[in-house]
Structure 1
Amino acid sequence: MEWIIIAAIVLFFAWRLMPAKGIRTVDADGLKEMLGDKDKQFIDVRTPAEYKGRHIKEFKNIPLNTLQAKQASLDKSKEAVVICQSGMRSAQAARLLKKAGFDRVTNVRGGMGAWNG
């Protein structure tokens, strides 16, 4: 019986870590190639304190807890590239944007923790 519970927990976390359908993922090296692209909007969903401590200049800070209210200020015709500290909050943000009708959404895998630029 214990192994069923363990398997269920493992499957749950594996499911949570998988990108949602239609959401691309990119690593830090792939992100470097995207920066400067005017057809993309870069969104950092960390807290203002995290953003102030260290950020990538192309990214606009829209904390995850305010993203739904502020999504109208974003351009649905541009690709949304989302980052956080580790990739977990940005995965949530990417799913939220996808459900809101954004066609092109990319999550930065590993987030700022993987960034060395």
Structure 2
Amino acid sequence: MVPGEKAIALVVGAAGEAKKARLELARIGFDNVLGYIKADALTETQKLSQISVQELKANLNENGPLVVDVRTPTEWKNSHLEGARHLPLASFAKQAPDLPNDRPIAIICGSGYRSSIATSLLRARGYEQVGNVTGGMTAFAESDS
């Protein structure tokens, strides 16, 4: 997690996205945005590994990935995957070092946005076997319909 007073540089697909991102960040207390760079101008970026709901379901067993749910305590209380570990995104950076680095980890949230942040944090800390569950719990619930 980035402290609110830290300077932020945005990576965007198009220049128009930077204005919207600045506004959204300011709404949650991040108003020190230095500027932006278009993603296609970067020569090297890491892509996050994505895990589909179908892939996760097929591997939900004792040999499957550790599922880490980064939703709020209220969301977790309403529903969660059996065997998942709850690490809310708000405290994720502090608790992440306790996660094992020797087995696959699937990060899930409500829609995939918060889990992509958590996945990025783990990748930055050297975790290689970590993936973001595409669509999150919303997609998981819809796949049962």
Please state which band the TM-score falls in when normalised by the shorter chain: 0.7 to 0.9
User: Shift of the alpha carbon at 1:21?
Assistant: 1.9
2:69 pairs, out of 44, 53, 57, with 44
Give the total of aligned pairs.
107
2:110 pairs, out of 74, 77, 85, with 85
Match for residue 126 of structure 2? 101
User: Shift of the alpha carbon at 1:80?
Assistant: 1.3
Task: Give 5+ residue unaligned stretches, structure 2.
Answer: 1-13, 22-38, 40-44
**Larger relative contact order (CA 8 Å, sep ≥ 6):** 1
Match for residue 15 of structure 2? 8
Answering whether residue 96 of structure 2 is matched by residue 54 of structure 1, we say no
Deviations 1:31-69 (A, max 9, x none): 101211435211000011101101111211100111111
Answering whether residue 89 of structure 2 is matched by residue 64 of structure 1, we say yes
**Which of these two proteins has the greater Rg computed from alpha carbons?**
2
TM-score, normalised with respect to structure 2: 0.66
More helix by percentage: 1
1:33 pairs, out of 48, 53, 58, with 58
SS at match of 2:46: coil
The answer to whether the Cα contact below 8 Å between 1:28 and 1:109 also exists between their aligned partners in 2 is yes
Answering whether residue 34 of structure 2 is matched by residue 21 of structure 1, we say no
Query: Identity, % of aligned pairs?
Result: 31
Indicate the RMSD between aligned Cα atoms, in angstroms. Answer: 2.3
